[in-house]
Structure 1
Amino acid sequence: MYKVLIVDDEPMIRQGLKAIIPWEEYGFTVVGDAKNGREALERHGELAPELLVVDIRMPGMDGLQLIEEIRKVDERCRFIILSGYADFTYAKTALKFRIDGYILKPVDEAEVVEHLQRVHILLQKEAAQIQPGQAAAERQEALIHSLLHNRQLEGEELLQSQLSEWKSYQVLLIDITIGYKVEPKQYSEARRRLEKLFEGNHSGIVFSVESWIGILLKQPVNGGESSEELYRQIKQQLAGLQLICFAAAGQTVKQLAKTADSFIGAAQLMKHKFLLGGEQIHTLRDMPVPTDSSETCDSLDALAEKLYYALDIGRKSGVEQVLEQAGKALISYDGSEHDMKTNWTQLISLVLGKLSSRNNEIYTAVQGCMSLTADIHKHHTYAGLLLETRSRLLKLAERIGGAGNEPVLKQLIDFVHNHYSENLKLETLADVFSYNSGYLGKMFLKYTGESFHTYLDKIRIEKATELLGQGMKVHQVAERIGYANVDYFHRKFKRYVGVSPSSYKGKSVK
């Protein structure tokens, strides 16, 4: 019996195909199903089906993307595509992946059977043509996959006994698809070269799993010089293919039956490849340690406010400090590539948007940096993202912040005069200037003779008298100078001027 995997995002379609088609009458057995392309890719690695019946339109990874990924690791798998309507563009693209059938929904049983009969004949012809060496390699690959997924494989006692002679086992996974699409020919050539490296000297067995190239290592690597030397050999073997490699090794195990544990560890590291990056073999000691963001991290708005202040002042050290804080905070929120890029884009957009509204000169300077929000998504490693973000924001700080080299208190006072209408907090500003807020408050009092909050109130009230004299309404003035509560503005105004805002406005108009 040839194995079949059914892939469709509609449960009714999956169940219906299992029920209405007499698979076994035509030499097939349905070994599983999947609701999307990603799940199907994993199940293909686990089950090694000879035939996939695939819906062409699915959320996330569609049918053609799935087939393209499988073709990198499995040249012999057969595919029948399902489609809700005649899409000839898709059909034309499908041809290059050697599709065996294109069936329109609703599915006609007779049409499916016709395709199954034809595929069965093709599979039998292929089986008759397989050379002994190729058959042995396929049995070895099947054995490795059974070990990775903790399944029993019957009839391979000799291979298992040979592997059982090893003293230890470690799964090394290599991702060569970082940053761009790798063609099936490139993948096959990379695997062939790695087979020459590892199987040529009997130091490991090369296999394919999901979109990765894997090696079951006989001699483990656990960091240090052995890892560096092995990575150097891998890079040298793949030289000329112009591939970016990320390598992850699971834990070393002493029993062949525990190989799945090592594979799980390596696969977990693969999930953090964007964050880890680096030209090296990563081991479990490199695994990021999760932190409690509720206790250690500022909100995105608070980080944006600090970064905005540091840029506006032109304080480069403050920009670097806030970027470091933001990096730690955003990692703790979610270390996945997608969410980290999204959060960094939101942070930079908030800051640049706020800066743009300051004045025309700053607006012009900021426009040259706006492309950073798009460029963030082009990076394949977190280190690269941080490096470009830091470089471009420091240049922006230098361009728009003329007071960056002034004494701290002079910078602080100028900033208050320019931003009195905003929700200024001494604690936030102290962080930007790398001072303890209590100490900075005492320095401010000694320098001006007034506390930070009194100084800010007086600037606001002085501006309020100007605006009231121009005939502006009281509630409009309160909002313009930074008081969200009108009653609170009344109390402050009367405290410093001696009369209410309404009375002052009446006298000014007369």
Structure 2
Amino acid sequence: MYKLLIIDDEPIIRQGLRSIIDWERYDIRLCGEADNGIDGLRLCGELAPDLVIIDVKMPGLDGLEVIEEARAMGLVCDFIVLSGYSEFSYAQKATEFGVRSYLLKPVEQEDLVKRVDMLRKEWEMRKKERERQDESIRLLMERKLHSLFRMGSEHEMSEEEYGLLAAGLKLPWSSYQVLLIGDERRELEMSEREWILSRLLGSCSPDDRAAVFSYQRVVGILAEALDGESLWNPCFLDGDDQLGLELVYAIGPRVLKLEQIPHSFRKAYDEMARKFFCSRSDRLIVPLDDASCLDADPASFRIEICADETAKAVASGDTEAISVRLKEAESVMLKGEWSEERVKASFAALYNELVKNLKGVDESIQSVCPLLHEVIEGIERQPTLAAVREYMEEQLLPLVDRWSKERKPASFMNILHYIAQHYSSDLKLETLAELFHYNRSYLGKLFKSQTGDPFNTYLHRVRIEKAKQKLAAGAKVYETADAVGYASVDYFHIKFKEYTGETPSAYADKWRYKAD
């Protein structure tokens, strides 16, 4: 709103001016009153009113003296001079100080309304002209800054280039720093950039050493950075949610020379471009360093292997191993400078492969696993690499509990116990997998990892150990072969010697001699 100051030594006049018209209708509010010229001049300096209604004859300083002093102080405001009929010719001397509005006492409402309405229209025209000029200057400065950003970090500026920047930015500054503003998930549209620009321009005062600009799909500020002070208070970003925005900002390093501004800009621009791979401190984009990465080799990383190891961790209930596997994947992607698209596609593939491996253990696990398309949608919504990894953990860690509650397969020890009881039967890996609800391929891998031997090797070892016990007890060779599951005595001979280094007969004779 515009500000009104009333200066008159008569209380009844001041009271009448307060209520004679509806000031708010003209977007005007009363900011102060004075009953003498001295206090009135002081309030002019303190309150910087847009309109002053002032009496000609007052104690201390008269109205014309107040106007003269106010102009000498550089105050820009409009005056409406009040005078009696006998004082009117004297009051007209105020034209020397740019005053064009005079009213005779007693003030008529209609006359005051005409003057105020005229001034209000003039103010609006001045405001639009200032805005037009400010926008022209801003666009000119923006073009010059764009040229500067495209220069090398140590580009020598011409005197003409420096002169234009110096005039627009009130150079030189003690230092320079660039802040860029973008959206968390997408590029800013033109209307959105204009909204941000208006917020920034509204936050800047004429005394601020700062320039606001739009560059490609981001908005920025070039400001004078001071030691120990943050470049900008991000409160101006508040309200972005009303436009469906999630604004974040990146800050380049402080530089001391005008020619080094491109360096500050480029660092901020690169951080904004790679914001997916950075962390956040409130809205500030913070680059990650290698210290935050696990010791993972991008060259040897395979999604299939990571999925297999993570599936084993889920099946065994090892939540720490799940977190480590996902963190390793994150580190590989960060070190390898993968694109955002590749990262998200790879995590989706990891989840798909992981579920396949778990189904290999138990087909019914599909009922407790989040659907692939839901997980993909969740991955796509994540704004950063760290957020994708955290989202994957959120999907997998609860799966450990659901796995143990929903699934009732025998443990691996139960399978070994079954073999110990039924080793003489025609055991096959497929039979065990079907019996204990395992995928054949996965069960084969499980045998190797848990016993150190493939399934067939493990079964032969069990059978040969049982055969040794029977032969030592005096059983015949052909009886022993059949008892431990070998239909062919010749094949039994081959396997027995392979695992013991001697024939069944020699082994039996050795024990017979001991008995004698």
Report the TM-score, using the length of structure 1 for normalisation. 0.52
Shift of 1:216: 0.4
Shift of 1:279: 4.8
| Larger CA deviation: 196-205 vs 384-393 | 196-205
Report what 2:193 is aligned to.
187
Match of 1:161 among 160, 166, 182: 166
Deviations 1:45-79 (A, max 9, x none): xxxxxxxxxxxxxxxxxxxxxxxxxxxxxxxxxxx
Change (3 A) 1:454 1:158: closer
Pair member with larger Rg: 2
Change (3 A) 1:205 1:186: same
Distance 2:453 2:446 in 1: 14
CA RMSD of aligned residues (A): 4.2
Instruction: Say whether 1:316 aligns with 2:319.
Output: yes
Change (3 A) 1:165 1:460: farther
Give the 5 Å matches for 1:259-270: 259-270=261-272
Change (3 A) 1:411 1:149: farther
Q: Tell me the secondary structure at the aligned position of residue 308 of structure 2.
A: helix
Report what 1:214 is aligned to.
220
Shift of 1:304: 1.4
Distance 2:239 2:370 in 1: 45
Change (3 A) 1:138 1:235: closer
The answer to whether the 8 Å contact 1:170/1:220 transfers is no
Shift of 1:411: 7.0
Distance 2:327 2:389 in 1: 9
The answer to whether the 8 Å contact 1:345/1:376 transfers is yes
Instruction: Say whether 1:422 aligns with 2:445.
Output: yes
**What code does the residue aligned with 2:180 have?**
L
Deviations 1:412-447 (A, max 9, x none): 757999644127775xx8xxxxxxxxxxxxxxxxxx
Distance 1:279 1:182 in 2: 21
**What code does the residue aligned with 1:273 have?**
K
Match of 1:272 among 271, 274, 279: 274
Give the 5 Å matches for 1:476-487: none
Report what 1:147 is aligned to.
148
**What code does the residue aligned with 1:175 have?**
G
**What code does the residue aligned with 1:171 have?**
V
Change (3 A) 1:202 1:459: same
Distance 2:373 2:462 in 1: 33
Report what 1:244 is aligned to.
246
Report what 1:453 is aligned to.
452
**What code does the residue aligned with 1:144 have?**
L
Change (3 A) 1:193 1:416: farther
**What code does the residue aligned with 1:190 have?**
I
Distance 1:495 1:212 in 2: 74
Distance 1:274 1:492 in 2: 60
Distance 2:497 2:373 in 1: 44
Q: Tell me the secondary structure at the aligned position of residue 421 of structure 1.
A: helix
The answer to whether the 8 Å contact 2:249/2:284 transfers is yes
Q: Tell me the secondary structure at the aligned position of residue 371 of structure 1.
A: helix
Give the 5 Å matches for 1:471-510: 495-496=498-499
Give the 5 Å matches for 1:85-100: none
| Larger CA deviation: 210-219 vs 238-247 | 238-247
Q: Which structure 1 segments of 5+ residues have no match?
A: 1-129, 405-409, 430-451, 466-490, 501-510
Change (3 A) 1:210 1:357: same
Change (3 A) 1:384 1:197: same
Report what 1:45 is aligned to.
none
The answer to whether the 8 Å contact 1:171/1:250 transfers is yes
The answer to whether the 8 Å contact 2:296/2:328 transfers is no
Distance 2:459 2:328 in 1: 31
Give the 5 Å matches for 1:306-385: 306-366=309-369, 368=371, 371-385=374-388
Shift of 1:334: 2.6
Report what 2:487 is aligned to.
none
Match of 2:302 among 299, 306, 311: 299
Report what 1:135 is aligned to.
136
The answer to whether the 8 Å contact 1:171/1:266 transfers is yes
Change (3 A) 1:357 1:411: closer
Change (3 A) 1:354 1:498: farther
The answer to whether the 8 Å contact 1:204/1:216 transfers is yes
| Larger CA deviation: 239-248 vs 153-162 | 153-162
The answer to whether the 8 Å contact 1:313/1:402 transfers is no
Shift of 1:277: 4.2
Distance 1:189 1:280 in 2: 21
Change (3 A) 1:309 1:274: same
Distance 2:241 2:218 in 1: 18
Instruction: Say whether 1:226 aligns with 2:230.
Output: yes
**What code does the residue aligned with 2:237 have?**
K
Shift of 1:195: 1.8
Q: Tell me the secondary structure at the aligned position of residue 226 of structure 1.
A: coil
Deviations 1:221-256 (A, max 9, x none): 88xx736xx354233375744421121111111111
Distance 1:331 1:213 in 2: 27
The answer to whether the 8 Å contact 2:251/2:268 transfers is yes
**What code does the residue aligned with 1:186 have?**
E
**What code does the residue aligned with 2:404 have?**
G
The answer to whether the 8 Å contact 1:420/1:459 transfers is no
Q: Tell me the secondary structure at the aligned position of residue 187 of structure 1.
A: helix
**Count of matched residue pairs:** 312
Change (3 A) 1:337 1:400: same
Report the TM-score, using the length of structure 2 for normalisation. 0.51
